[in-house]
Amino acid sequence: MAARQCIVGGNWKMNTNRASASALAKDVGEACSPSANGVAVVVFPPFPYLMEVAETLVDTGIEVGAQDVFAEPEGAFTGEVSVSMLQDCGCSWVLCGHSERRHVMGEPDDLVNRKVLAALAGGLKVILCVGETQAQREAGQTDAINDAQLRAGLNTVDATGIENIVIAYEPVWAIGTGLTATPEDAQSAHAAIRATLADVFSESAADGVRIQYGGSMKPGNAAELLSQPDIDGGLIGGAALKAADFAQIVAAGA
Ligand code: PGA
């Protein structure tokens, strides 16, 4: 099995202001760089603060990503932001298909796929988020939903492209709710995700893809989740807004 580097992302969502985003970035830089110990760390601030956060984190080894991107390079797309704009602001990563984009903004699979392809073509690394709702879990559809979201989101991604993608498994019912998948349930979903990746690409490609868990991961449950064989990191929302909590999760992945 490939040794996969643990990757922890901090998704700040629509939180912070200019001053608190800079302060959080500074604190994360100080708290996480020493504890990272081989763990890759990426933060995803709101668009307006990307540049300042990227400047604050320069030389810390912590990378910066955006929470979303549009699929077109430029033009009449009011309110949207392109891949090259994100790169101009210091981003090397982007989230695609976060559950809040899918379920609050109504983003469909084919748009998520266009964003993934545009990001890869422009040289951004992608965290592609998938996950089932509560009703889908209760109906026993967890693996089928993840499989369908993966196949659609990764449509026409090639062997080089998948090397620049991380998958985040984020059960919708666990995001921001305080509810967490048990380590066993999360591991089972991650193993099924890896099987889909093996089917779409190859066993060896799937073996190299990092799959993060997201959904109320916090200092108290991170170590157990991250010790599962197919859980290669975390995508953290609420607990990423406190540098000390975020640093403890990063340390748990080291
Ligand atoms: P949460 O969010 O940690 O607050 O549940 C995770 C996410 O949405 O990425």
The pTM of this model reads: 0.97
Q: Is 176 in the pocket of ligand 1 (CB under 6 A)?
A: yes
Task: Band the pLDDT of 2: cuts 50, 70, 90.
Answer: low
Q: Which residues contact 29 (CB under 8 A, 6 or more apart)?
A: 56, 57, 60, 62
Mutate to test the pocket of ligand 1, among 128, 130, 235, 245 (most ligand atoms within 8 A of CB): 235
- Nearest-angstrom CA–CA distance, 34 and 42: 15
How many angstroms is it from 193 CA to the middle of ligand 1?
Answer: 19
170 is a catalytic site residue: yes
55 is a catalytic site residue: no
**For residue 3, what pLDDT is reported?**
86
Q: Is 9 in the pocket of ligand 1 (CB under 6 A)?
A: no
How many angstroms is it from 185 CA to the middle of ligand 1?
Answer: 17
Q: pLDDT tens, 38-91?
A: 999 999 999 999 999 999 999 999 999 999 999 999 999 999 999 999 999 999
Q: Is 217 in the pocket of ligand 1 (CB under 6 A)?
A: yes
How many angstroms is it from 166 CA to the middle of ligand 1?
Answer: 16
Q: Which residues contact 41 (CB under 8 A, 6 or more apart)?
A: 7, 8, 9, 10, 28, 32, 61, 62, 63, 250
How many angstroms is it from 173 CA to the middle of ligand 1?
Answer: 10
Q: Is 238 in the pocket of ligand 1 (CB under 6 A)?
A: yes
Burial 116-148 (b: 16+ CB within 10 A, else e): bbbbbeeebbbbbbbbbbeebbeeeebbebbbe
Q: pLDDT tens, 116-140?
A: 999 999 999 999 999 999 999 999 9
